[in-house]
Structure 1
Amino acid sequence: MVRRSLLVGARLAVMIAVPWGFVAVVKLVVRRPRPDGDLLLHQLLAEPTSFSYPSGHTAFATALCLAILCALPAATTRFRIGLGIALAALVVLATAWSRVAVGMHYSTDVLASMLLIPPLSLLLARIITRTVPDHGFRDRIVA
Structure 2
Amino acid sequence: MTGPATDDRTAPSRLPDERAVAGSRFWALPQARHWLVVGALLCAAVIALGLTVQLVPGDTSAELGVDQSLSRHHGAVLTAVAMGINMVFGPLVGLMLIGIVALYLWLVRRDLVKAVAFGLVACTGWVASEAFKLLIARQRPDPKLLFDPLAPETGSNSFPSGHVSFAVALAFALYFLARGSRWSKVAAVAGAAMALIVAWSRLYVGVHYPTDVAASFLAASAAVVLLGGLWNRFAPGIVERLPAASFLPSHRP
How many Å separate the matches in 2 of 1:57 and 1:19?
9
Mapping for residues 23-102 of structure 1, pairs under 5 Å: 23-49=129-155, 51-72=157-178, 74=180, 76-77=181-182, 80-102=183-205
Is the Cα contact below 8 Å between 2:140 and 2:207 reproduced in 1?
A: yes
How many Å separate the matches in 2 of 1:17 and 1:83?
22
Is the Cα contact below 8 Å between 1:70 and 1:125 reproduced in 2?
A: no
How many Å separate the matches in 1 of 2:168 and 2:157?
19
Larger radius of gyration: 2
Say whether residues 1:8 and 2:114 are aligned partners.
yes
Deviation at 1:5?
2.1
Task: Number of aligned residue pairs: give it.
Answer: 130
How many Å separate the matches in 2 of 1:28 and 1:93?
24
How many Å separate the matches in 2 of 1:73 and 1:30?
35
Q: TM-score, normalised on structure 2?
A: 0.47
> 1:76-111: CA deviations, max 9, x gaps?
13xx32221110011000000000111100000000
Once the two structures are overlaid, the 10-residue window that deviates more, 49-58 or 27-36, is 49-58
Q: CA RMSD in A?
A: 1.8
Percent sequence identity is 35
Q: TM-score, normalised on structure 1?
A: 0.80
How many Å separate the matches in 2 of 1:68 and 1:87?
10
Q: Which amino acid aligns with 1:8?
A: K
Q: Structure 2: where are the runs of 5+ without partners?
A: 1-103, 237-253
Once the two structures are overlaid, the 10-residue window that deviates more, 80-89 or 13-22, is 13-22
How many Å separate the matches in 1 of 2:156 and 2:138?
9
Deviation at 1:50?
5.1
How many Å separate the matches in 2 of 1:131 and 1:83?
31
